[in-house]
Amino acid sequence: MRQLFQIDHPIFQRLALFVDFFLLNCLVLVTSLPIITIGACRIALNQTIIEYLAKKEPSLLRAYLSHLKKGSCGVQLSLIFSLLLFLQGMSLFFSYSIGLSSWLRLFILLGIIVSFTWNESANYYFSNNSDSFFKGLQASFFLIFSHKIFILFAVLKCILFLFILHPSGFISIIYVSTFGGISLLAYIKNKLLFLFFKCRE
């Protein structure tokens, strides 16, 4: 949008960024409809926002499409975690109608948190080209516990997924696993990462 009209006014820049995110969410929604593309969309969007915040790529849409075309060996792994997260949300949703025990509901909640954590670690590893998956996992936990603002962000994510305990959380898990929630979480997380590394330089 900004390249199309070449207007540098701050208000227009913010409006153009909003339009870019709206169109980006529409693209992710369309490409996420086939369940097999969810892993690719998550990784592509994560890498797109990293490059945008680092000012390596001026266009969100062009960067997203280019990364989506490239693909990654981690797409299958990310897809497995996304499917696991989705199926556990389904189980949690139907457990209220069946009347399962609180222990089983707690087990499902822990499974959701674990699968979400591993999914974020997979995105961190494949987006940042770490030496190994476990080093990427270690680095992600180090960032969370090394700064107060990352702890706050981790708590907010846990609160978000605690709402899945309610039957209406089934809608939330679909939203977070497909389009709008991805862009919001990815933007906040990568903005914090960018500011953190910028302060350390």
Distance in angstroms (rounded) separating the CA atoms of residues 43 and 111: 21
Amino acid at 180: G
Say what the pTM is.
0.34
Domain shared by 89 and 185, yes or no:
yes
Boundaries of domain holding 109: 76-200
Domain shared by 120 and 183, yes or no:
yes
How would you write the pLDDT of the chain (201 residues) with one tens digit per residue? 445 555 566 666 666 666 665 565 555 555 544 444 445 555 666 667 667 666 676 776 677 666 666 655 444 455 455 555 555 555 555 555 445 555 555 555 555 555 555 555 555 555 555 555 555 555 555 555 555 555 555 555 555 555 544 444 444 454 444 444 555 555 566 666 666 666 655
Are 2 and 58 within 8 A, CB to CB?
A: yes
Domain shared by 95 and 175, yes or no:
yes
- The three-state secondary structure class of 159 is helix
Distance in angstroms (rounded) separating the CA atoms of residues 102 and 74: 35
Are 54 and 194 within 8 A, CB to CB?
A: yes
Out of 47, 70, 93, a domain closes at: 70
- Total domains in the fold of the chain: 2
